[in-house]
Homo-oligomer: A and B are copies of this chain.
Amino acid sequence: MREALISILILTLAASALAEQPSPTGFFEASVAGQLGAEEVMLATPTPEKARRWLAHLTEEAHVAGTEQERLVAEYVRDRLEEFGLEAEIVRYEVFLNHPEEVSLRLIEPIEEELSLMEDFLEVDKDSAAQGVFPAFHGYGASGSASGQIVYANYGTPADFEQLAKMDISVEGRIVLARYGQVFRGLKVREAEKRGAVGVILYSDPEDDGYMQGDVYPDGPMRHPSAIQRGSVQYLSVQPGDPSTPGYPSRDGATRLSRSEMKTVPRIPSLPISYREAEKILRALGGERVPDEWQGGLPFSYHVGPGGAAVEMSVAMDEGLKPIFNVFGYIRGASEPERTVILGNHRDAWTHGAVDPNSGTSAWLEAARALAAAVESGWQPARTIVFASWDAEEYGLVGSVEWGEDRAEELSANAVAYLNLDSAVTGPRFGVGGTPSLRDVVRESIARVPEPNKGGTVGEQWEQRLRSEWAKRAPIDLDSPDDEFELHLGQLGSGSDYTVFLDHLGIPSISFGFGGKYGVYHSIYDNFRWMERYGDPGFVYHPTAARFYGLIAMRIAAAEVLPLRYGSYARALREQLDDLRRDVVRKRRQAEDLQDESVLNADFGALLGALDQLERAGGGFDQAVEGIVARADSAAAAAVNEALIQVERALLVEDGLPDRPWFRNVVYAPGLTTGYAPWPFPELRQAVEDDDAALFDRGAARAIAALTEMSRRLERAAPGPAN
């Protein structure tokens, strides 16, 4: 009953929000009314009840990629798509995966004690007693045993290991204990291995997502003392996907690398543990007091070791080729059926995955159902909408990467945009990252989505929040104190399935979700009870996510002129470049301070010039397209669409980025040393990090060439009024 009321309320809000909306970008006047009507049908379709039902089913059992449960979930998803009336199929690949066979961790100094590699059963939470859940292990973690003294390495970043070296502490022959956070976990293991460690233990410090961030599960949303963060230790920023088929698809009969030939997986064993178990090691650890920023939230002063604490670890993996299942659903386009708008969400989870990823799967299913309802009401898109449910994302974006590599040619030629949804809901705060060309359509779509709890629209509150964050944090230049806020999408790094589309294929992409306090990531407590209590009580944000997802897909798929816009593109990139420029000044000041002359003296002048050119080209393009839309000039629209598909492909370089040729986008990439976090202008960032002047010059030349080519394509795509 309560949910029905909420639905009515939402519909009312949606209707009132609708009245004030401007025309959607790229639609000829004649088609606006029909589009908005179909959108209303779509917006009215998602419900909390359905979202809850899908999530309950999806999360009944843990469903790790490569397991029988995950195959069953794939079938469940395919069946739902078919039930909604979509054409659906399962596409299977065999990929290299691992599951734990036997894992153990034993404290051998200061006392002998077996450390737990499984979470506590909590009376109030039946899912915490589930049988099918794997104990602590790392996806693509190595089999092996190790024993030795512990060294604490903070977050295990390259800078942290450098700090240890400065303190004259070697990790060679030792076991590194590092906390989760800051960078992708695989890069921690990689760095430890490079420096001679024989094993790695990663734990979740309570400062980062435990009691220091809020009440802990089951009394709150944050990490229980026994909770373990599972996850992949692939070298994600070097290359994602099946490590046995690097850069090519895992088709039947493909040449396979053996494990020892693989370049993106660790050789030393690693294990994740809880902070309750980590405390037993850390408390005993001797050696120097840690640098201040290394202190975490356990109630004692941390030491780096070695001395005082030693462990034995043993990891036996069942590894080899296992089947994974990508599920697809299609709504065929009427006039440009070969062009695709792809809505992708992964399905595999480390445990039950109520947040990660199946809150996304539930919203994705609701979006599919809602779009089916729009089709049912008579709407048909110009372009084909592809719903993709990826498998084995958790291991290293495997399902999406293999498919992207498999279909590279057609995607390059025809994919308009990739719209990603990973974890959809951990709270009420909307966030979205993406290529700047999608800013306008994101903005106008989210502006039509009602905020279920606070009233108004999600868009209003999102823009307000970004404006507030800018006001609070944006650098202040006393010479130009009147700088004003401009809305930009967040930057995409990696860690989800947009990676192959954006970084490998140059396809405009976004990734979005609703955020909040979330401390059960990759633990057994990421389950239905958590979501119902903390993530989305009443299940109101799941349908809200579905509405945005459906709406933006409808607009991109149906607009007469593709709603990619370039007026703010250069300014968005300039903000990102300014961050890099500030870092260069900071670094130079510090180097002068140390009389270090090896530091890079980077000149950004020509690059800023290329951005100026892009700003003019983007502004001209937007203006020209506005004219085409106003004139309802179908022939011109077709020509623009044809050209638009290729505009951002100009950012790709054939031979890829240094040390990681699979990454081919010279503007967008994850940090080589961060994994998750973005490195805009990755070659330049890498040159700055490494003080590599030659790389900087080459990177700047390549970025300038790419931006110039993009400007040229924009100018050709829609010649400005002057021409």
A-to-B contact residues, CB < 8 Å: 206, 211-216, 220, 222, 289, 292, 295, 297-301, 464, 467-468, 470-472, 474-481, 485, 578, 581-582, 585-586, 589-590, 592-593
A464 nearest in chain B by CB position: B593
What distance in Å separates the Cβ of A117 from its nearest Cβ neighbour in chain B?
22
Q: How far is the CA of A222 from the CA of B464 in the complex (A)?
A: 43
| A475 pairs with B476, CB closer than 8 A | yes
**Is the pair A581, B468 in contact by a Cβ cutoff of 8 Å?**
no
| Residues of B contacting A478 in the complex (Cβ-Cβ under 8 angstroms) | 477, 578, 581-582, 585
Nearest B residue to A474 by beta-carbon distance?
Answer: B589
CB contact between A468 and one of B211, B477, B593 (< 8 Å): that residue: B593
A216 touches B301 (CB 8 A): yes
Q: How far is the CA of A485 from the CA of B590 in the complex (A)?
A: 11
- Do residues B578 and A213 form an inter-chain contact, with CB atoms below 8 A? no
Most buried by B among A216, A220, A299, A581: A299
Contacts of A467 in B (CB 8 A): 593
Q: Knowing A301-B222, A476-B475, A479-B479 touch, does A213 contact B470 (C-beta < 8 A)?
A: no
Q: For residue A220, which residues in chain B have a CB less than 8 angstroms away from its CB?
A: 289, 301
Q: A471-B593, A585-B481, A590-B468 are in contact. Are A214 and B476 (CB under 8 A)?
A: no
How far apart are the CA atoms of A254 and B588 in the complex, in Å?
Answer: 61
**4 new A-B contacts at CB < 8 Å, known A211-B299, A216-B301:** A206-B299, A212-B295, A214-B289, A485-B593
Is there contact, CB below 8 Å, between B213 and A585? Answer: no
A411 to chain B, nearest CB (A): 38
Q: Chain B nearest CB: distance from A282 CB in Å?
A: 12
A571, chain B: closest CB distance, angstroms: 14
Q: Which residue of B lies closest to A212 (CB)?
A: B295
| A214 to B304 CA separation, bound complex (whole angstroms) | 12
Asked if B222 and A589 make an inter-chain contact with CB atoms under 8 angstroms apart, the answer reads: no
Kindly list chain B residues whose C-beta atoms are within 8 Å of the C-beta of A589: 470-471, 474, 485
Interface pair B300/A211, CB less than 8 Å apart? yes
> Quick one: which of B211, B470, B581, B590 contacts A472, CB cutoff 8 A?
B590
A301 touches B211 (CB 8 A): yes
Cβ contact within 8 Å between A586 and B471: yes
Q: Is the CB of B590 within 8 A of A471?
A: yes
Residues of B within 8 A of A586 (CB): 471-472, 476
Contact across chains for A298 and B299 when beta carbons are under 8 A apart: yes
A501 CB, min distance to chain B CBs, angstroms: 33
- A220→B301 CA distance, assembly (Å): 10
> How many Å lie between the Cα of A477 and that of B299 in the bound state?
40
Which chain B positions have C-beta within 8 A of A213? 292, 295, 301
Residues of B within 8 A of A481 (CB): 581, 585
| Chain B residues whose CB sits within 8 angstroms of the CB of A582 once the complex forms | 476, 478
- Closest Cβ–Cβ distance, residue A316 to chain B (whole Å): 34
Whole-angstrom distance between the alpha carbons of A472 and B472 in the complex? 21
Which B residue's beta carbon lies closest to that of A468?
A: B593
A-B pairs with lowest CB-CB distance, top 6: A471-B589, A299-B299, A471-B590, A471-B593, A481-B585, A215-B301
Alpha-carbon distance A287/B211, docked complex (angstroms):
16
Q: Which of A222, A289, A476 has the most CB of B within 10 A?
A: A476
Whether B475 pairs with A475 at a CB distance below 8 angstroms is: yes
Q: Which residues of B contact A214 (CB under 8 A)?
A: 289, 301
Shortest beta-carbon distance, A290 to chain B, in Å? 9
Chain B residue, CB-CB nearest to A581: B478
Asked if A297 and B297 make an inter-chain contact with CB atoms under 8 angstroms apart, the answer reads yes
Q: Considering only CB atoms, which chain B residue lies closest to A473 in the complex? A: B586
A227 to chain B, nearest CB (A): 15
Docked complex Cα distance between A211 and B290 (Å): 12
Q: Which residues of B contact A464 (CB under 8 A)?
A: 593
Shortest CB-to-CB span from A278 to chain B, Å, is 13
A586 to B300, CA, bound (A): 37
Of all chain B residues, the one with the shortest Cβ separation from A216 is B301
Of the A-B pairs whose beta carbons lie under 8 Å apart in the complex, a sample of 6, sorted by A's number, is A214-B289, A220-B289, A298-B299, A471-B589, A477-B478, A478-B578
A582, B471: Cα distance in complex, Å: 12
Instruction: Tell me, in angstroms, the Cα distance from A539 to B274 when the chains sit together.
Output: 44
Q: Which residues of B contact A222 (CB under 8 A)?
A: 301
Alpha-carbon distance between A297 and B295 when the two chains are bound, in angstroms: 11
Q: How far in angstroms is the closest Cβ of chain B from A222?
A: 7
Task: Considering the complex, give the chain B residue whose CB is closest to the CB of A279.
Answer: B299
Check if B206 sits within 8 Å of A592, measured CB to CB: no
CB-nearest residue of chain B to A296: B212
